[in-house]
């Protein structure tokens, strides 16, 4: 059994599903599972962390933590870990987790396994699997030496557990010394999209250069709406100005691991595959039967997206109605 700390992530007053995945995986392995919850006026969220497996919640509230900042998070988290000496510290491999975890690892003088897609708890140790070479191979890593083992885990990789609302957690109020911060986040300006983020959605419908215009992405959005999915894009589509960069999937975009990834008119270049090949089920629609995307696809349609996508959307609508 290990002592596992999960750094909770939340936005707009809601905890992220990826945090529940980490708590659930740790609790299911019989570990002593703690959460660290940072923010300002976020105490209510502690209850929900308990529902997913947190036995203790280290609650750090401060005005300087109202909006995420890597400096403030690092300064608040590090002393808690130093005094509690957990075996394992987990965070989601989101832009936030990718930002503060390396800093925390450096402060603790320990290693970090980033972008893990599998975790195995073995006593007080973990073995983690992470994709390398743009997803062409997977390595298994373990930690040598003393100190906590830090890992960030890709969203949707572990699967969220069902909440048990009868569970409660001990709340430990922690005061952080956040004096002398060199940076302050004043405002977060949101993008216009009201859709789920590609990294968190369990279904992603993506379009490529073949969409030919931003306007044509409406048909991708329509399918996404029926499925409750996020809209993704290849870099070629983003570079052409059809979609904002936040939707880009791939090596220089976002890494996604949804239950279902539908690639519409995307060739499947290695840099795109790096961002989506760990998706559970991949569907590809492409006019070119030799397109590399078909090598990773579970289901493929050789056809024109301008005919296949609207037809598929209609069928999905019918299925949903019934």
Site mask for ligand FAD (CB under 6 A), range 196-235, x = bound: ------------xxx-----------------------xx
> What's the token pair of residue 62?
């401060």
Angle between helices 305-321 and 217-227 (to 10 degrees): 20
Size of the site for ligand FAD (CB under 6 A): 28
CB of residue 114 to ligand FAD, shortest distance in Å: 17
CB of residue 46 to ligand FAD, shortest distance in Å: 37
Any contact of residue 134 with ligand FAD (CB under 6 A)?
no
Question: Which one of 70-78, 160-168, 222-230, 279-287 is the stretch in contact with ligand FAD (CB under 6 A)?
Answer: 279-287
> What's the token pair of residue 249?
């999937």
126 φ, ψ to 5°? -125, 150
Smaller CB separation from ligand FAD, 23 or 220: 220
Any contact of residue 248 with ligand FAD (CB under 6 A)?
yes
CB of residue 132 to ligand FAD, shortest distance in Å: 16
> What's the token pair of residue 174?
């922690």
H or E element that contains 50: helix 45-51
DSSP assignments along 144-196, one per residue: -SSSPEEEEE-TTSS-PPPP-TT---EEEEE----TT-S------PPPS--SP
Task: Please state, as a whole number, how many other Cβ atoms lie within 10 Å of the Cβ of residue 112.
Answer: 18
Task: Please state, as a whole number, how many other Cβ atoms lie within 10 Å of the Cβ of residue 120.
Answer: 13
CB of residue 255 to ligand FAD, shortest distance in Å: 9
Alpha helices, DSSP H only, in 52-92?
70-84
CB of residue 177 to ligand FAD, shortest distance in Å: 39
Figure out which of the listed residues 251, 280, 316, 317 binds ligand FAD, where binding follows CB under 6 A. 251
Question: Which one of 18-26, 99-107, 175-183, 246-254 is the stretch in contact with ligand FAD (CB under 6 A)?
Answer: 246-254
Any contact of residue 295 with ligand FAD (CB under 6 A)?
no
Give the length of the chain. 322
Any contact of residue 266 with ligand FAD (CB under 6 A)?
yes
Any contact of residue 267 with ligand FAD (CB under 6 A)?
yes
Chain centroid to CA 203: how far?
13
With contact defined as beta carbons under 8 Å apart, do 36 and 60 qualify?
Answer: yes
Binding site for ligand FAD (CB under 6 A): 208-210, 234-237, 248-253, 265-267, 269, 271-272, 275, 285-288, 291, 304-306
């Amino acid at each position: 059994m290990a002592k596992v700390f999960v750094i909770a992530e939340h936005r707009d007053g809601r905890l992220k599903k990826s945090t529940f995945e980490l708590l659930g995986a740790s609790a299911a392995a019989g570990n002593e599972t703690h959460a660290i919850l940072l923010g300002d006026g976020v105490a209510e969220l502690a209850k929900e962390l308990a529902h997913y497996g947190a036995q203790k919640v280290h609650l750090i509230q401060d005005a300087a933590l109202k909006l995420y900042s890597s400096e403030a998070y690092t300064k608040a988290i590090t002393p808690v870990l130093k005094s509690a000496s957990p075996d394992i510290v987990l965070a989601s491999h989101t832009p936030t987790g990718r930002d503060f975890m390396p800093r925390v690892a450096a402060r603790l003088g320990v290693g970090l396994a980033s972008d893990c897609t599998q975790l195995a708890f073995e006593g007080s140790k973990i073995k983690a699997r992470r994709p390398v070479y743009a997803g062409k191979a997977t390595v298994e890593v373990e930690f040598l030496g003393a100190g906590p083992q830090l890992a960030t885990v890709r969203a949707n990789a572990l699967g969220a557990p069902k909440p048990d609302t009868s569970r409660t957690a001990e709340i430990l109020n922690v005061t952080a010394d956040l004096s002398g911060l060199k940076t302050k986040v004043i405002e977060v300006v949101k993008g216009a999209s009201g859709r789920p983020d590609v990294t968190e959605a369990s279904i992603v419908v993506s379009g490529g250069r073949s969409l030919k215009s931003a306007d044509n992405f409406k048909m991708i959005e329509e399918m996404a709406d029926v499925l409750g999915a996020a809209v993704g894009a290849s870099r070629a589509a983003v570079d052409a100005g059809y979609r904002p960069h936040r939707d880009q999937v791939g090596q220089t975009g976002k890494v996604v691991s949804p239950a279902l990834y539908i690639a519409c008119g995307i060739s499947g270049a290695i840099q795109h595959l790096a961002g989506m090949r760990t998706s559970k089920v991949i569907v590809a629609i492409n006019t070119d039967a030799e397109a590399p995307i078909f090598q990773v696809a579970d289901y493929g349609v050789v056809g024109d997206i301008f005919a296949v996508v609207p037809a598929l959307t209609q069928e999905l609508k019918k299925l949903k109605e019934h």
